Amino acid sequence: MDFNDRFRLEIRWEKVYYEIDGLAKFKNCYLTGPVLKELDRLNKEDYIFLDFSKQYKLFIPSYYIAKFYWNGVKYFDSIIKLDEVLLENKYITSVPKLKNDDFIIVDTSNHTDDKHSMYLTYDAYLIRYDNTPYTF
């Protein structure tokens, strides 16, 4: 993960559930990180595509793009809480099942006002509870 910390966004949660293959549901999910100081207001209901392919150097990259969506946003001092949060990927069996103490780091550097329209996905990394990236 080689990017300016200014653009670091973390997705964290209290609990993750897998009721069906390819769909993770998050309880008490929130966003945090330095980029929140510069972030535009989020739509109440929206999604972004997270591209995990940088952790999968030997495989087909498009399999590792997941849809992260929410329905509800609440702003606090240093976090943004999201409601009804889902992470969907029909190839989700190719990534490890997330644990409650894992988190996701998102590189938002390609999503400033002048670049955002040229990038369809956000580079993302699955991180273990001990702050080390998963290796696949």
pLDDT for residue 38: 87
134 lies in some domain: no
Prediction pTM value: 0.83
Mean pLDDT by 10 residues, the chain (136 residues): 82 93 92 92 93 66 77 95 91 70 92 68 90 82
Q: What is the chain's Cα-based Rg?
A: 14
* Nearest Cα to Cα of residue 110 among 56, 29, 69, 49: 49
| Structure token pair of residue 129 | 């509870």
pLDDT for residue 60: 52
75 lies in some domain: yes
pLDDT for residue 35: 93
In the chain, the N- to C-terminal Cα span, in Å, equals 15
pLDDT for residue 87: 92
pLDDT for residue 40: 85
**AA letter at 101:** D
104 lies in some domain: yes
The C-alpha torsion from 87 through 90 and 93 to 95, rounded to 10°, is -50
Q: Which residues are registered as beta bridge partners of 87?
A: 24, 68
136 lies in some domain: no
57 lies in some domain: yes
132 lies in some domain: no
pLDDT for residue 92: 55
59 lies in some domain: yes
